[in-house]
Amino acid sequence: MTADVIDIATKRPPPEDPGDTPITPQHLPAAPSAAGPRVAITETTWQALVGALAAVPSLPGAKCAGRWDLFDVTDSEDERAEAATHLCNTCPALTKCRTWFDGLPPGRRPIGVVAGRVVKDTTEPKPVTDTSKWLTDYLTERGPSRALDVAAAAADAGISERGLRGARNRIGVTIRRPSQGVPSVWSLPKTEGNTNV
């Protein structure tokens, strides 16, 4: 029966069993933000997507469900934003949605019309000096830290994966992997005044 079905876009029959094709990060769309995805550098896109979906609460009756064309607007001057904001503010799930949204760190918040307001993308790239200073301060305060923890804190501070990597290279962060299967540890390079190594 599947041999009779043809994909109109490609003029090819569908794969034998789509369930046999694993979904890998390469199959996922790129993040729409110019600053890059807001995920820790050690997460794959797939893990980040699953994590983000798991963090969204159940919002029965949400008026935004399936309406990305209306609710993904970030320009408050757009007439769709006004319509979406009106629908959002009359939504039965508004209180639960607003509580969830307000509890998210700024670097993890969705953009568009969310929780009754228009949320713009605030992940403009940080100047190189700010990112390097942030990383230096972080490692000075905490000493050697797991790369996972540094990346998560950077994402929460609105620092992109690319920006963090650049700062790490500029500063000359020492990367140590204690053993196979153990996350790497970042520390500041050894200098005369640095005792946090």
Q: For the segment 72-83, what is each residue's pLDDT rounded down to a tens digit?
A: 888 878 888 888
CATH classification code of 128-187:
1.10.10
Q: Which amino acid would we find at residue 76?
A: S
Q: For the segment 91-112, what is each residue's pLDDT rounded down to a tens digit?
A: 998 899 888 888 887 777 788 8
**Model confidence at 24: pLDDT above 60:** no
pTM: 0.40
pLDDT for the residue numbered 5:
46
Q: How far is CA 182 from the centre of its chain?
A: 23
Q: What is the distance between the alpha carbons of residues 81 and 71, in angstroms, rounded to a whole number?
A: 7
Q: Tell me where in the chain the CATH 1.10.10 domain(s) lie.
A: 128-187
The number of residues making up the chain comes to 197
pLDDT tier at 28, thresholds 50, 70, 90: very low
* Crossing angle of the two packed helices 161-171 and 147-156, in degrees rounded to 10: 120
Q: Where are the alpha helices (DSSP H) in the chain?
A: 45-55, 68-71, 79-89, 94-102, 128-142, 147-156, 161-171
